[in-house]
Amino acid sequence: MPDEMAALIAASGQGWLSVDKPVGWSSFQVVARVRKQTGVKKVGHAGTLDPFASGVLVVAVGKEFTRKIESVQAQAKGYLVRMVLGIETDTLDPEGRIVSVDEGVLTRRRVTRFFEDPQFQHEILAQWIGEISQIPPRFSAKKINGVPMYAMARKNQEFEIRPTHVRIDSIEVVGTRMTKFPTIDLRIRCGKGTYIRSLVRDVAVALGTVGYAQLLVREFIGDYQLADAISVEAIPCGF
């Protein structure tokens, strides 16, 4: 499948390309790489992945396909996230500055109960299933009057963050680790515009502590699966 996608684009000069974005790359850098490798100027992506995240980034190559980006953005997405309890960063991810540490996180009754009681896990996570209102992270690409919030946050500017309405279909606990700062691995299926970092923050608050997303992998967008994505090194070169 990955080789077939690359071959089709190499043959026609346009199409969809599912790339496994590596940690440390921005979504824009992947688009720039595709543009450079293919020589096609009209290139875009169907949904930003933060630099600390990895996984499926669907890239539209050619004018015919960039026009259809919204159709891919609207499809369901799947993520695997590792949240750390007891530490919060200003970006809600590993790249930010630590702003809060809860040294007593292991004494929080709701935290220990979450690790011990599957039914309590379900009760906590059920709060975010369905159509919900969500406060985006301060450090996000969401724009206010045309300016990305992260640009204003970096300058310590004050601004109002308005809630967005998103849909979360399912949240599943797939792993836990009870260390000094315990971790929870969640698998999430959701709709367009969902901020996983915000969900991590809100789950941590519901457990009586703070938290951040240490690791984030986008496993699929619609029918585009991570197993079928190509590496940035495998992006086709020229036509």
Closest Cα partner for 87 from 105, 106, 70? 105
- What lies within 8 Å, CB to CB, of 29 at 6+ separation is none
Which neighbouring-strand residues pair with 81? 186, 216
Alpha-carbon distance of 63 to 162, in angstroms, equals: 33
Active site residue 50: yes
CA–CA gap between residue 57 and residue 37 (Å, rounded):
16
- In degrees rounded to 5, what are phi and psi of residue 41? -80, -35
Rg of the chain, C-alpha, whole Å: 19
Check 3, 20, 50, 93 and give the catalytic one: 50
Q: What is the dihedral of CA 206, 212, 214, 215, to 10 degrees?
A: 60
The Cβ-side half-sphere exposure at 167, using a 13 Å CA radius, reads 7
Give the whole-angstrom CA distance, residue 101 versus residue 174. 25
Active site residues: 50
